[in-house]
Every structure is written in C-alpha cells, then in structure tokens.
Amino acid sequence: MSIYVGLDCGGSSSRVLAVDDLGNIVFQGQSGAANLVSTPDQRLRRNLQHATRGCDSANYVCGCFAGLVSDETRAKGEDILRQMFPGSQVRAEPDYTAAFYSSPQDTDVCVIAGTGSLVCSKGPNGMNKSGGRGFVLGDYGSGFHYGRDALVHFLDHPKTSSATLRQAVVDLFGTDQEGAIITSVYSSGPPQMLARLAKVLGMDAKEGEAYALESIERNGNALVNVVTQHVHKYIHPSTNLSVSLAGGIWKAAPIFKERFQELLEARYPDRQIHVHRLTKPPLHGAVELAKELSIGN
C-alpha cells in the first residue's frame, strides 16, 4: 500500500499529513516556519525534521512551500524533500498550489489572503498566479496591510482609538508607547506581527469605525483589482465565476468576506458570482499533489 505525504510549508508554521491508498491518516505533524526565501536554512531544515519526525515511510511526497518563486528555489525544496524522504518520489510546489487543490472542483479562481495575498488558478499549462510580491511590493488586501492600517490609526489617534484596538496593541507589543512599538516593529518580522491586528480592524469596522471601514474599502478594491486582472488574462469568459477563499483574513471577521464579495459582484454585474471559503485546509491539497506523482506508475 502506498503512502502519500503532503507538506504545507509557510512563513509562520509548517504542517504535514500522510495518508494511505484508502485515505486513512497515518501521520500528522507540525512545526515552525519553512519559507524557502525568508527562513534561515538551518532553521527551515530543523523545523521540517521536527514536523516529520515519526513519519517513517512515504512513496510520494509533495512539499508546498512559501517562497518557491524560481527554478532555483524549487530545486532547493526538492533537495530538502529527498534528504528527508530518501527513496521517495518528490515534488516541490508553491504554497498557493495547495490551496487551489483544496478548493472545490468547479473553482475558477482561488483568492488567498493571510499574512500576504495572491490570486491563482489552474490552466492547461499548470498554475497561474497574480499578485503576491510580498508586503513591500504588493500583497494587497492582506493581513499585513489591514494590521498596518490598524496600528497607524492607533499611533495617530491613541486617545480616541477603540478600547478593543488599544488592548490589542498592548497585548501585542506589551506597551502603548509609540517609541517602543516602532522599535518592536522594525526589529522583528513586520508582516507576521502586524497581521495579528487585522482581526481587531474587522471588529472596529463592525462597530462603524471610519478608519476601519475605509481600510476594508481600499484594500478590498485593491484585491478585487488583482482578481479582475487575473480573470481577464487567464479565465475563459463565462456567465459564472466560482471563487474560493483561503487564508486567515476570511476567518478573522465576516465583514472581510462580505465586502469583498460585494465589490467583486459590482465588477461583474453580468456574471453569477459564487464565493466560498475552503472547507478543507490547504494541507489536503498538498496530499492530492503527492497522489498525482503516482499516476502512470
């Protein structure tokens, strides 16, 4: 009986799932970050060794990595997988591929919004991606941008910010003093840290806070722009558009999904828009990609 292993390797954590031919789970594990670009090599390998400890055998392995942005990083990911699973057939794919493979079969586009963001779909020649580019050059509608807006609002208006936002800032930074907060932001990983404030921005928006509503409108439109550009370039014209949502933003507060769907429907008044959150985590998509390796064997 064959064993299929999927790895979902992100910038904050890594997860592993192994199943047999019958779909029975034979192993689960998790550990820290494994971004092929931003995670130091020794830490990345140590985290994956910890996550896979106890997974003794595998026939087909797929690692879906954050930071897989080139042939060089793909080769690095495959080399790591071969060292961890000697004798197995392996493949390395970008992390967004796992999210798409976890989507319902009728999905046209998967919109991922967590710490970062991007839009992807599957075409005849493989996966297509739009957006991303990291927090400096893109990641529109991501947790980083929402969290940044929340923190900037607090720093600009510390006395009139909501009690919810003030408490979230203190919980995150251990202080409400501007100098200490700025030092903390620039001495750590800004995207991951600031993304933790996205949820409280959603809560402030629900309470009608003007800064939060403006942020959702601006960031939501920016992300919808990426979706419409992607659809125009890669998706065959149709009367329907099925969109899957993956990532923590869509779980953080209902208003993020609600407003995004409204903005998307306004862009496509002549299409039936179906927007739904993933019902299976991307890790299951990584396992499906591992199973593809067995086809023809």
What's the pLDDT score for residue 297? 61
Is the per-residue pLDDT at 296 higher than 70?
A: no
User: Each residue of 182-240: pLDDT tens digit?
Assistant: 999 998 878 888 999 999 999 999 999 999 999 999 999 999 999 999 999 999 888 89
What's the pLDDT score for residue 280? 87
Average pLDDT over residues 20-31: 92
Both 77 and 43 in one domain: the answer is yes
Both 58 and 159 in one domain: the answer is no
User: Each residue of 128-181: pLDDT tens digit?
Assistant: 999 988 888 888 999 999 999 999 999 999 999 999 999 999 999 999 999 999
Confidence of residue 11 (pLDDT cuts 50, 70, 90): confident
Domain annotation covers residue 297 = no
Is the per-residue pLDDT at 285 higher than 90?
A: yes
Is the per-residue pLDDT at 14 higher than 70?
A: yes
Supply the CATH number for residue 93's domain: 3.30.420.40
Domain annotation covers residue 13 = yes
Average pLDDT over residues 49-69: 91
* Token output for 195: 């993304």
Domain annotation covers residue 82 = yes
Both 63 and 109 in one domain: the answer is no
Both 188 and 260 in one domain: the answer is yes
Rounded to the nearest integer, the mean pLDDT of the chain is 93
Both 149 and 238 in one domain: the answer is yes
Both 117 and 96 in one domain: the answer is no
SS (H, E, C) the chain: CCEEEEEEECCCCEEEEEEECCCCEEEEEEECCCCCCCCCHHHHHHHHHHHHCCCCCCCEEEEEECCCCCHHHHHHHHHHHHHHCCCCEEEEEEHHHHHHHCCCCCCCEEEEECCCEEEEEEECCEEEEEECCHHHHCCCCCHHHHHHHHHHHHHHCCCCCCHHHHHHHHHHHCCCCHHHHHHHHHHCCHHHHHHCCHHHHHHHHHCCCHHHHHHHHHHHHHHHHHHHHHHHHHCCCCCEEEEEEECCHHHHCHHHHHHHHHHHHHHCCCCEEEEEECCCCHHHHHHHHHHHCCCCC
Both 240 and 144 in one domain: the answer is yes
Which range marks the domain in which residue 35 is found?
3-101+281-292
Domain annotation covers residue 184 = yes
Percent of the chain with pLDDT strictly greater than 70: 99
User: Each residue of 233-266: pLDDT tens digit?
Assistant: 999 888 899 999 999 999 999 999 999 999 999 9
Domain annotation covers residue 260 = yes
User: Regarding predicted confidence, which is higher, 55 or 161?
Assistant: 161
Both 53 and 71 in one domain: the answer is yes
Both 213 and 71 in one domain: the answer is no
Both 275 and 163 in one domain: the answer is yes
User: Regarding predicted confidence, which is higher, 77 or 11?
Assistant: 77
- State how many domains the chain has: 2
Domain annotation covers residue 226 = yes
Average pLDDT over residues 14-20: 94
Domain annotation covers residue 221 = yes
What's the pLDDT score for residue 238? 83
Both 184 and 222 in one domain: the answer is yes
Domain annotation covers residue 24 = yes
Average pLDDT over residues 120-129: 92
Distance CA 221, CA 228 (A): 10
Both 110 and 77 in one domain: the answer is no
